[in-house]
Amino acid sequence: IPASFNAAARDVALQELKLQGYEVVVSDLYAMNFKASATRDDIIGDVRNSEHFQYGEETLHAGMEGRLSEDIVAEQRKVTEAELIIFQFPLYWFSFPAVMKGWIDRVLSQGFAFSLEKMYDNGIFKDKKAMLSFTTGAAPTMFQPDGINGDINVTLWPLQNGILHFCGFQVLAPQIFWSPAHSPPAARAAMLEGWRTRLKGLLAENPLTFARCELFDLSFQGGFLLRPEVKEELATQPLGISTGHHLGKPLPPDNQTRAATAEDERGNGKKACGSIHTV
C-alpha cells in the first residue's frame, strides 16, 4: 500500500540496492492484483485428473510441459534471475498476508522450486539468498520467549525453514520493524535508517544456519530421521540443534533471528555438523 511503512521500507531497499549497482525488480502483489489461490486455473489446457484435482501433481507436470499460467511463469522468471529475494510484508496472523502466501503456493511449485531429491541445503536455490523483512503490530517484548505471543524464533521457523530453506535459499537474518504504527516519527525514521545501513552490507552477510541434510537418513525406509550415530553424539549436548530440531532441549539462542558467530559454531550446533565428516 503506497502510504504504508512497508512501502517506505521497500523504497529504502530499492534505492540502496540500486545505488550499489544491483538491478532491482519489484513485484507489488496488491498492485498486480496477484491471484492468491492455488487452483485449476493455474494450468493451461487439460489436467490429468479432473475428478480428483491434485494441485501439486498437476502443476509439476504442467510446469514440465510449459503449461503453467502466464502470471506464475513471469514470477518464476524473476526468481530464476534473482541473486537475492526480499519478502517485504506486514506480519498477518504470525505469517504472510494471504496474497504473499498465495505467491509462495503458486510460484514456488514442485519441480521449479523443490523436489524430494533437492531440498534444504541440497535445494534448487542453494546459490540464491532470500530474507524476510516485516513489520509487526506487536512490541518486541510480546514476542520474547516469556512474552504473550511467545518466541519470535518459533514464529519464524516455518517461514524460514519450511519455505525458504526448504527450497534451498540461504536465508539472511530477518529484518524486523517492531510496531511502527505505535512508534513516534523519529523512531520510525531511525528504523528505516537502520535498514538502509544494513542494506549496505546485506549481500556480504552470513546466512542463518540450519541442520544439514547429512544429519538425517534421507530415505522413506529411514523415515528421514536423525541418523542414530548423530543422535548419540548429540545426546550429551545441552541445547537442541535448531528451533525446530530442539530434541526436547532448550533452543539454541536467537536461532532464527541472527546468523551464528564463529563462537556459536564452536559450540553446540556445529558439533552436530562436525560429526558428519566422520560418518
Ligand X SMILES: *[C@@H]1O[C@H](CO)[C@@H](O)[C@H](O)[C@H]1NC(C)=O
Binding site for ligand X (CB under 6 A): 144-145, 151-153, 209-211, 241-242, 251-255, 257-258, 260, 264-265, 269-270, 272
Report what 71 binds from ligand X, ligand FAD, none; CB cut-off 5-8 Å by kind. Answer: none
Within 8 A by CB and 6+ apart from 137, the residues are 90, 91, 179, 181, 182
Residue 90 near ligand FAD by CB under 6 A: yes
CB of 176: closest distance to ligand FAD in angstroms? 10
Residue 55 near ligand FAD by CB under 6 A: no
Binding mask 134-173 for ligand FAD (x = CB under 6 A): -xxxx-----------------------------------
- With contacts defined by CB under 6 A, how many residues of the chain interact with ligand FAD? 19
Of 91 and 173, CB closest to ligand FAD: 91
Taken in order 60, 62, 67, 69, the sign of the CA dihedral is negative
Alpha helices (runs of H) in the chain, residue ranges in sequence order: 5-19, 55-64, 70-81, 98-107, 152-159, 185-201, 228-234, 262-266, 268-274
Place of cell 484435482: 53
Q: Is 127 left (phi over 0), alpha (psi -120 to 50) or beta?
A: alpha
Look at residues 218, 212, 276 and name the one whose alpha carbon lies nearest to residue 242.
212
Report what 254 binds from ligand X, ligand FAD, none; CB cut-off 5-8 Å by kind. Answer: ligand X
Residue 86 near ligand FAD by CB under 6 A: no
Of 56 and 137, CB closest to ligand FAD: 137
By beta carbon distance, the residue nearest ligand FAD is 137
CB of 76: closest distance to ligand X in angstroms? 30
Q: How far apart are CA 138 and CA 112, in angstroms?
A: 35
Q: How far apart are CA 236 and CA 12, in angstroms?
A: 46
Residue from 17, 91, 132, 173 binding ligand FAD (CB under 6 A): 91
Look at residues 129, 210, 207 and name the one whose alpha carbon lies nearest to residue 162.
210
Site for ligand FAD in 120-139 (CB under 6 A): 135-138
Could you list the residues that contact ligand FAD (CB under 6 A)?
4-6, 8, 90-94, 135-138, 180-181, 185, 188-189, 192
